[in-house]
Structure 1
Amino acid sequence: MADNIYLTQEGYDKIKAELDDLKTRGRREAADAIAEAREKGDLSENAEYDAAKDAQGILEMKINDLEKKIAHARIVDASQIDTDKVNILTTVKLKNIKINKSIEYTLVGESEADLKAKKISVNSPIGKGLLGKKVGEVAEIKTPGGVIQFEVLEISIK
């Protein structure tokens, strides 16, 4: 994970809050579960103890992953983004040429992607195909269902 992870300030704050919660509440709950299981007797045959230790291991892996994300995070300031072409944090209004339907997406870093909120990763096939395009240009996106052509109608910051 040596690559930079591009985040908005909101995305960075969300990861930081989750990390802080896991380090405090999560670790405390894992320790309590282990202590409770330990009180139930012989550890060699205690499935509850084994499950609590496994859960603690998973928690520590998640904490480690979030710490790496924070260490490699680069916060992108939307006010510094050029809207002449599609970039990270730009909102792009597109027209699917084949079905003549418009859709709008905001390009974000991978960890902030949320299709329901119309936020797609710059590393997704659509995101990669749109990066660098200007208004009026057509992006040909290769998908498992074939090639889709999107015309860039508008680029903005929201």
Structure 2
Amino acid sequence: MDRIPISKQGFEKIKKELEELKAQRPAIIQAIKEAREEGDLSENAGYDAARERQGMLEARITYINSRMPLFDVLDLDTLGGSRAIFGATVEIEDMDTEETKRFTLLGPDDADHKSGSISVLSPMGRALMGKEVGDEAIVDAPRGRIEYEIVSIQFLGAAGLNIR
């Protein structure tokens, strides 16, 4: 697999999540032990719930551990330029509706559509990557092809994006 871009702040957040997940292991093991001591496991809802929690926890830990070596940690405060790249905040205009949108291009583990960031690997992110102001970006969306024009590109850094 290729390298996965992530901001320094996003990487620290994932490391913290991993530590917190690992810290939950003893409590889950204890819950399983206590549920086992109740007897018949075939109808023991507490045991089933604890085992399910353990499975989900271990799956997330495994997932994060598998991604950690692939991360390409980037400092948002050092990025700049005239092209839409990781860390750029890009304003676009739908050429049909003249509606404008603004996105910050981040990695898949950083991106949060609710806060205005999208993954560089998303269809929109891929269409924007490498473009300059005035360029056209075409996105194949469920409603069909959408043509956008790049209106502006800025690099706000971590502070400007409220990434912590």
TM-score by length of structure 1 reads 0.90
Match of 2:100 in 1: 102
TM-score by length of 2: 0.87
Corresponding residue number in structure 2 for 1:73: 71
The alignment yields a C-alpha RMSD, in angstroms, of: 1.6
1:84 paired residue number: 82
Correspondence for 1:123: 121
> Distance in 1 between the 2:144 and 2:62 partners?
38
Percentage of matched positions with identical amino acids: 38
**Aligned position for 2:2:** 3
Q: Which runs of structure 2 are paired with 1:138-153 in the superposition (5 Å)? A: 138-153=136-151
In structure 2, what is the Cα distance between the partners aligned to 1:27 and 1:19? 11
Could you tell me which amino acid in structure 1 is paired with residue 6 of structure 2? L
Aligned residue pairs: how many? 156
Identify which of 58, 61, 65 aligns with 1:60.
58
Deviations 1:98-138 (A, max 9, x none): 11122210001011121111100111111111111111111
Tell me the amino acid that sits aligned with residue 146 of structure 1. G
Measure, in 2, the Cα distance between the counterparts of 1:6 and 1:109: 5
Q: Secondary structure at the match of 2:109?
A: helix
Judge conservation of contact 2:106–2:118 (CA < 8 Å) in 1: yes
Runs of 4+ in 1 over 4 A off after TM superposition: none
* Structure 2 unaligned regions, length at least 5: 157-164
Q: For 1:35-61, what per-residue CA distance to the aligned partner results, in whole angstroms no more than 9, with x for missing partners?
A: 220221234553432332232122111
User: How far is 1:76 from its partner?
Assistant: 1.1
Distance in 2, Cα, partners of 1:89 & 1:52: 40
